[in-house]
Amino acid sequence: MFRWRARAANPHRRWPESLPVVPDRAAPREWVVRDGVIDLRRPVVLGILNLTPDSFSDGGRITSVGQVQELGLRMTEQGADLIDVGGESTRPGAAPVAAEEEWNRIGPAVAALSRAGVRISVDTTKSKVADRALAAGAVAINDVSGLRRDPEIASLCAESGAGLVVMHMRGDPRTMQNDTGYDDLTGEIRSSLERSASMAIERGVRPAQIVVDPGIGFGKSLEGNLEIIARSGTFGTAGYPVLIGPSRKSFIGQLLGVGVEARLEGTIAACVAGLLAGARLFRVHDVQPVRRALDVAWAIREAGA
């Protein structure tokens, strides 16, 4: 794996106006999670581990704790910095799941992966699930509702020192694609993310624990998703690192005319474009090819710095 070495920022560097990027000198260098820090001076990869029967991409394929542990360890070996475990589908139109059912789906997996030494984040919008996940060893919580559904998640992260990802989503999974029009897409998303971050800070979360996610595919059109990726860096202007999750999303299928299983190249392209635009964290299904592509893109970027 490529290892980044720190070098002095180039004061003469100029960014093209068409590609808004958070300058290196302003970009956060660490993300504080429960068991330490994650280095943001290179791309960070979160490997997706869905334990839902109805996920749009890989629902129902993992049926045992042994499979979970094997997949989590494999993704870690392939370069994942965290394994993001989820037990409730957030695909368009998905119905909500009760907290107890969600925990039953992910609890054994979180415990098994933690025992195996795998760093875990848990994708949930419920404080009851987040509380149990943190007790079982999770180091971060990924809340796709941006704390709108259950602000108590922020209190749990404050008390435990866990990392917190807040995402932008219009409505909920059942309604989010009913209205994908925005007067100012970038500005509205940025303002919403800053409100979510402020809510977390009011409950005691330190800014260094917070990551923002503009929510590709969550209440956005094809054109909106492309704009988000092209302007990834602008969502971190308040000082928070930016995560994007383009993996296997429908906008790639719309662009290329391909199904879910044929969207790897599109995912890699979206991640690299997001990296060059200022994103630092990437939530993906296919860890190894994305990790390799991001490391090469980062090396090229640094050589040109």
DSSP letters, 177-193, are TS----SSHHHHHHHHH
Question: How is residue 289 written in tokens?
Answer: 């090819």
Contact by Cβ (8 Å): 1, 291: yes
CB atoms within 10 A of CB 116: 15
**Residue written as tokens 């990027």?**
21
Q: Determine whether 249 is an active site residue.
A: yes
Distance CA 302, CA 283 (A): 22
Distance CA 13, CA 31 (A): 25
Contact by Cβ (8 Å): 45, 1: no
Considering only CA atoms, give the Rg of the chain: 18
> Among 272, 266, 304, which Cα is nearest to 291's?
272
From the list 105, 170, 220, 249, the catalytic residue is 249
Contact by Cβ (8 Å): 62, 73: no
Q: Which residues contact 212 (CB under 8 A, 6 or more apart)?
A: 165, 166, 167, 168, 193, 196, 197, 235, 236, 238, 240, 241, 242, 243
> Among 49, 15, 43, 14, which Cα is nearest to 31's?
43
Question: How is residue 42 written in tokens?
Answer: 């290179």
From the list 132, 220, 283, 291, the catalytic residue is 283
- The gap from C-alpha 204 to its chain's centroid, in whole angstroms, comes to 22
- In this structure, the dihedral spanned by the alpha carbons of residues 148, 37, 129 and 197, taken in order and rounded to 10 degrees, is -10
Just list the catalytic residues. Answer: 249, 283
